[in-house]
C-alpha cells in the first residue's frame, strides 16, 4: 500500500474535517468520527468555517469516541444521523438517541462491528469520558478500521501501555496533538507525546488531528494555528523517521492509493 497526499484522487481516503471530525472512506463505505459541525460551543469558537453536512453525506456509520461536548454534539448528530448506525462507548447511547439517532450500537474495548467490508474494533483510550465533571464514569474509545487500509482513529487519549500492541496493525494513524487552549492537560496528547505515540504504534503515515480548528477567546494569542502540527511533524521526523507525517488543513483530503 502506498499513500499520497491528494485532495481529489483515489476512491479511498481520509479528510480532516476539523477538530476530531474525520471522514474515512474505505472499501466503498464512508465513516465520520466525532462530528462537530457548529460554529462553536459556548466560549470556544471555530477558526475556520464550519463544514456543510451535505458535503459529508452519504454516511454508512458515525463513530463517537466519548461523551465530551466537542465530540458528542447532539446538534451536529441531528443533521447527520438519519438511518446510519452511530457507534458509541457503552453508556453513551441515551445521549445519542436523544439527538434522533434510531440505530445506536454500544461497544466496549475489544468488541467489533462490521460495516460493509470494514471491521471496526473499539480500542482503549486514556481519557476521562464523562459528559459532565460531576456525572457518572463513562469510557472513552479509539477505533481501528480494518479495511484495505488499516486506519486508527485515536479519539482523545494520552499515552498508555497498550499502544505498543498496535504495532503492525496500523497503516494510517489519526492522532490528536492539541486543543483549543494554550496547552493540553493530562488525558490528551501534545506534539511531543503524540510523537511518542507514533514510536509505539509505528504507522506508515501519521495524520495530526484536534488542532487548528477551535480556539477559546484569548487562549492562543501568539500561537500560530499551524505551530502544533509543524512541531509534531518535526518531532516524528527525529523519533520515527520511517513514519511519514501528512499535515492536512481542516477541510482537506488525502487519498489512499494501492501502489
Higher pLDDT, 149 or 45: 149
| pLDDT on residue 218 | 60
Q: 12-252 maps to which CATH number?
A: 3.60.15.10
Containing 234, the helix (H) or strand (E) segment is helix 227-239
Q: Write the CB contacts of 165 (distance below 8 Å, at least 6 apart in sequence).
A: none
**Residue 209 in this model has a pLDDT that exceeds 90:** yes
Higher-scoring residue by pLDDT: 45, 238: 238
pLDDT, position 39: 83
| CA pair distance 108, 117, nearest whole angstrom | 21
Q: Which three cell numbers stand for residue 190?
A: 501534545
Residue 112 CB partners (closer than 8 Å, separation 6+): 119, 120, 121, 122
Q: What are 111-131's pLDDT values in tens digits? A: 999 999 999 999 999 988 677
Listed by start position, the domains of the chain span 12-252
Amino acid at each position: 500500500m502506498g499513500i499520497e497526499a491528494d485532495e481529489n484522487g483515489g476512491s479511498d481516503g481520509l479528510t480532516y474535517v476539523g477538530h476530531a471530525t474525520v471522514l474515512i472512506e474505505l472499501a466503498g463505505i464512508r465513516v465520520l468520527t466525532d462530528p462537530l459541525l457548529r460554529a462553536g460551543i459556548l466560549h470556544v469558537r471555530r477558526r475556520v468555517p464550519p463544514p456543510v453536512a451535505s458535503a459529508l453525506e452519504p454516511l454508512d456509520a458515525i463513530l463517537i469516541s466519548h461523551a465530551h461536548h466537542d465530540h458528542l454534539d447532539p446538534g451536529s448528530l441531528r443533521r447527520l444521523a438519519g438511518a446510519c448506525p452511530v457507534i458509541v462507548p457503552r453508556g453513551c447511547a441515551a445521549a445519542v438517541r436523544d439527538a434522533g439517532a434510531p440505530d445506536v450500537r454500544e461497544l466496549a474495548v475489544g468488541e467489533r462491528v462490521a460495516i460493509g467490508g470494514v471491521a471496526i474494533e473499539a480500542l482503549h483510550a486514556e481519557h476521562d469520558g464523562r459528559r459532565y465533571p460531576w456525572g457518572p464514569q463513562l469510557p472513552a474509545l479509539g477505533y481501528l478500521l480494518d479495511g484495505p487500509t488499516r486506519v486508527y482513529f485515536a479519539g482523545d487519549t494520552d499515552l498508555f501501555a497498550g499502544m505498543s500492541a498496535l504495532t503492525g496493525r496500523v497503516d494510517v494513524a489519526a492522532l490528536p496533538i492539541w486543543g483549543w487552549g494554550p496547552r493540553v492537560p493530562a488525558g490528551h496528547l501534545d506534539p511531543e507525546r503524540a510523537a511518542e505515540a507514533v514510536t509505539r504504534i509505528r504507522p506508515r503515515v501519521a495524520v495530526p488531528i484536534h488542532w487548528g480548528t477551535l480556539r477559546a477567546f484569548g487562549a492562543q494569542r501568539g500561537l500560530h494555528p499551524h505551530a502544533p502540527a509543524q512541531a509534531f511533524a518535526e518531532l516524528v521526523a527525529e523519533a520515527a523517521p520511517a513514519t511519514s507525517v501528512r499535515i492536512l488543513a481542516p477541510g482537506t483530503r488525502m487519498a489512499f492509493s494501492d501502489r
